[in-house]
Structure 1
Amino acid sequence: MSTVDYSIGTPTFEEVSPADEAAPADLAALRPLPRISIHAFCESDAMLRTMERMSRDRRMAKVNMRVTNGGTEAAANMFAGSPTPNLVVLETSAEPGNLLNELAPLAEVCDPSTRVIIVGRYNDIGLYRELIRNGISEYLVGPVQMTEILASISAIFVDPEAEPLGKSIAFVGAKGGVGSSTIAHNCAFGISNLFATETILADLDLPFGTANIDFDQDPSQGIAEAVFAPDRLDEVFLDRLLTKCSEHLSMLAAPSLLDRAYDYEGMAFRPVVEILQRSAPVAVLDLPHVWSEWTRSVLADADEVVITAVPDLANLRNTKNMLDALKKLRPNDRPPHLILNQVGMAKRPEIAPADFFEPLEIEPIAILPFDAQMFGNAANSGRMIAEIDAKSPAAETFSQICHIVTGRSAIKKTKKAGLSKMLGMLGRK
């Protein structure tokens, strides 16, 4: 028998076969699990791989999980001398007639509050009913996918009557000055207006954030008070820190002051994001262009990630590196969305958009032409693009982005001919 502890944030990554893949759409509906302990006992290599992958999923961030090679006997021997966790996931090849007898030694050493999920090999409704009558929380027929296990655990430990968590959308630039904040602010405004959805924009660039300028606000409090006083943070305290920007949009502004050093621990922003998700259906997170433990943590936990880049070589390299890093941080989630911004700037050498996307093996959700006049007027007047000209191509593009990142519509896969047509239209603007 061997035991492996999996610590979230420091995993090793291996190739995953198509059969082991969980559908991102199915996973997206599952909420993060609470702080519980789980011990999985796996008889097969396939089950071991599935549990290892699950231990790295962002929905497991609060879970203390252990994975052990072995079955019922190994579990009974281990818990004979140690406390049982909140949940035991047990794979067994026992036949239906022998399974309850095999589970008896484990039942003798398990705490009454411990829940048990059995993964067996027999699709037997009589066995299922007998196990449920005897206190087993769930019986699944193997081989199982990660989604099935996560859904079963969620059904046991996540309160179905609880308020659903809001969606977090993180915006980050592939390089400084690419317009990620401008896009984040316009999308937050668009989501709140287009869908009449309560939205919170959180400016996470504490020393240099521009959300207060872009919305022509001068709040006395904001995100700094939330980050540096986590013990006070609750819905009531958050409500005092928010600034109203429009009917459905509130802002958690950055102080934009240099009177202190803004150094954070890796999990510093997690309580803030969690309270935002409990307070509004959509939380837009405007991240600065830095790569640190706290930004990695925010990006790993976000429901959606949007990378903004401009068409030059440094942005291409950085975007590729970020996509590779986020694939490891978020192995079970959809790839980040990509926006190419400031395309067609006069007298600036650029990489053609088609050439920019090809090595990334990802299609953009939007291409925004360079328009110094419109974006400059919006920034200097503290208004969004939709307020300056709601019928402009840029405003229509922001509407498209809002639909995609909120899941209100699916992005259509563009063939090369379609992409060429889009780029041709861009060149005529």
Structure 2
Amino acid sequence: MNAPWKSGSSGGRDQFAAYLCDDAAMDVLRPIVADLGWQPEKCCRGGLRNAVQSLSVTASPNILLVDLSESGDPLSDINALAEVCEPGTIVIAIGQVNDVRLYRDLVASGIHDYLLKPLSPVQVRDALTHAQAVYSAPRSHDAAGAKPHVSTAVIGTRGGVGTSTLATSLAWLFSADYKLPTALLDLDIHFGTGALCLDLEPGRGLTDAIENPSRIDGLFIERAMIRANDNLAILSAEAPISTPLMTDGSAFLQLAEEFRQAFEMTVIDMPRNMLINFPQLAAEVNVAVIVTEMTLASARDAIRMLSWFRAHAPQTRVLVVANKVQSALAEISKGDFEASIEAGIHLSIPYDLKASSLAAKLGQTFVDANRATKAGAAIRDLARLIAETGEAQADSTAKPSLLGKIDFKAMMPRTRKKAQAGG
């Protein structure tokens, strides 16, 4: 369905409108709307279906809040909404379905945020204030002039396979050799070694981000990240081991969004348990490097990870890298390993204990301290593979959105704790 012609000038558009299904949500929303200086009478009854009907004959607002509670097929209805919305509209959805898959599908369709009922005033105010700031922000990253951003997650099949060594080396290469503004995010909150590999103190930036996701913005990134060189900044933590990780993952998603605006490359040192606890993190990853050893345990877990990516992040290019390779001592030959995981090994990095010791003594990344070694050359080949294929991968993942007609200026929301629960 194509929308009838409507004036496209933003001057004739309302700042805000909402379509809600119940009085309880209306009672929460109206006072907040009034406090923000908007018109409370723009809070209407009827939910998403009524929004589609109304906006087919009137100009859509700058910020639109729609209730999905009575929608039997939310994604299909969102598609209908796209047909009647003006370019530039920011859409916030609310609903009562606590399902991570629905949340991820809505995010992929271009929804700015998704709030779960029952609504809390703090939650709603925060979402509307952020949407207002996003709408008012200059479109410095719009498509015409934007540089492609490549996000690479480095994930080990087992502990000790060298994930952090590869992640820090790749980040260093992108920043020092390719001269690309690069962010290194170490998500091992308690035992991460990203800063240690670079001979840096981790600081409290990542811990503060997890505790206060609403603080994350460009200024926070500038202040919280530790500079390793002119093009490389790192965000990591050494949280007390007596303090459990208490987060719904919203901080990680918001960090990823800010990195996309501030850097051209992001390298994420991602512990494998993050795939279980926060599967939405993989949604925006362009390249996943699965680091493995030639062992039975690593083969088993490589199979599981490859299957996970096929099911949950099919848009991501997956590279299998065998690290610490000692052909004579391997539990499984390369041929048997590839047959077992039903995939090829893209690169093999030889084991070099002397080179590892040298890097540790110098306080440098492995690849920086060992440029002349075979292992260092293999890591540079991996960086080249990511750099050469990353831009094409980023383009291929930019699939047409269900809300393609809506020019969202911030595609990544700040997730809500309840939306993550159960994922």
* TM-score bucket of the superposed structures, by smaller chain: 0.5 to 0.7
Which residue, 112, 115, 139 being the options, matches 2:59? 112
8 Å contact kept, 2:287–2:390: no
Which residue, 44, 50, 57 being the options, matches 1:82? 50
Which residue, 380, 386, 400 being the options, matches 2:367? 386
1:344 is the counterpart of 2:326: yes
Whole-angstrom CA distance in 1 between matches of 2:276 and 2:145:
30
Deviations 1:18-73 (A, max 9, x none): xxxxxxxxxxxxxxxxxxx9xxxxxxxxxxxxxxxxxxxxxxxxxxxxxxxxxxxx
8 Å contact kept, 1:404–1:410: no
Which residue, 385, 405, 417 being the options, matches 2:386? 405
Deviations 1:110-154 (A, max 9, x none): 44339xxxxxxxxxxxxxxxxxxxx999xxxxxxxxxxxx9999x
> Secondary structure of 1:311's partner?
coil
Letter of the structure 1 residue corresponding to residue 220 of structure 2: F
- Unaligned residue ranges in structure 2 (runs of 5+): 1-17, 19-45, 62-84, 88-107, 112-138, 393-423
TM-score, with structure 1 as normaliser? 0.58
CA positional deviation for 1:406: 2.4
CA positional deviation for 1:283: 0.8
Deviations 1:330-358 (A, max 9, x none): 23x14411100111177x45201121112
The verdict on how the C-alpha distance between 1:290 and 1:207 changes in structure 2, with shifts beyond 3 A counting, is same
Correspondence for 1:240: 223
> Secondary structure of 2:356's partner?
helix
8 Å contact kept, 2:183–2:233: yes
> Secondary structure of 2:291's partner?
strand
Whole-angstrom CA distance in 2 between matches of 1:387 and 1:108:
57
Structure number, greater radius of gyration: 1
Whole-angstrom CA distance in 2 between matches of 1:250 and 1:80:
43
* Higher alpha-carbon deviation: 162-171 or 274-283: 162-171
Whole-angstrom CA distance in 1 between matches of 2:243 and 2:325:
37
Q: How many residues get paired?
A: 279
Letter of the structure 2 residue corresponding to residue 174 of structure 1: T
Which residue, 163, 175, 191 being the options, matches 2:174? 191
Letter of the structure 2 residue corresponding to residue 351 of structure 1: I
Which residue, 164, 172, 186 being the options, matches 1:203? 186
The verdict on how the C-alpha distance between 1:300 and 1:294 changes in structure 2, with shifts beyond 3 A counting, is farther
Whole-angstrom CA distance in 2 between matches of 1:245 and 1:190:
12
CA positional deviation for 1:405: 1.5
Letter of the structure 1 residue corresponding to residue 198 of structure 2: F
8 Å contact kept, 1:211–1:253: yes
Letter of the structure 1 residue corresponding to residue 246 of structure 2: D
The verdict on how the C-alpha distance between 1:235 and 1:343 changes in structure 2, with shifts beyond 3 A counting, is same
CA positional deviation for 1:287: 0.9
Correspondence for 1:374: 355
Correspondence for 1:362: 343
TM-score, with structure 2 as normaliser? 0.59
Q: CA RMSD in A?
A: 3.5
Correspondence for 1:317: 300
> Secondary structure of 1:376's partner?
helix
Letter of the structure 2 residue corresponding to residue 327 of structure 1: R
> Secondary structure of 1:275's partner?
helix
* Higher alpha-carbon deviation: 160-169 or 212-221: 160-169
The verdict on how the C-alpha distance between 1:199 and 1:81 changes in structure 2, with shifts beyond 3 A counting, is closer
The verdict on how the C-alpha distance between 1:108 and 1:313 changes in structure 2, with shifts beyond 3 A counting, is closer
> Secondary structure of 1:83's partner?
helix
Deviations 1:55-112 (A, max 9, x none): xxxxxxxxxxxxxxxxxxxxxxx9996111xxxxxxxxxxxxxxxxxxxxx8995443
1:326 is the counterpart of 2:309: yes
1:166 is the counterpart of 2:149: yes
The verdict on how the C-alpha distance between 1:335 and 1:362 changes in structure 2, with shifts beyond 3 A counting, is farther
Whole-angstrom CA distance in 2 between matches of 1:80 and 1:284:
38
The verdict on how the C-alpha distance between 1:359 and 1:260 changes in structure 2, with shifts beyond 3 A counting, is same
Letter of the structure 2 residue corresponding to residue 364 of structure 1: I
1:282 is the counterpart of 2:262: no
- Unaligned residue ranges in structure 1 (runs of 5+): 1-36, 38-77, 85-105, 115-134, 138-149, 412-429
Whole-angstrom CA distance in 2 between matches of 1:241 and 1:111:
44
The verdict on how the C-alpha distance between 1:409 and 1:336 changes in structure 2, with shifts beyond 3 A counting, is closer
8 Å contact kept, 2:275–2:281: no
8 Å contact kept, 2:150–2:390: no
The verdict on how the C-alpha distance between 1:109 and 1:247 changes in structure 2, with shifts beyond 3 A counting, is closer
8 Å contact kept, 1:345–1:370: no
CA positional deviation for 1:361: 2.9
The verdict on how the C-alpha distance between 1:407 and 1:380 changes in structure 2, with shifts beyond 3 A counting, is same
Whole-angstrom CA distance in 1 between matches of 2:376 and 2:109:
39
The verdict on how the C-alpha distance between 1:151 and 1:368 changes in structure 2, with shifts beyond 3 A counting, is same
CA positional deviation for 1:289: 2.9
Whole-angstrom CA distance in 2 between matches of 1:225 and 1:136:
37
Correspondence for 1:15: none
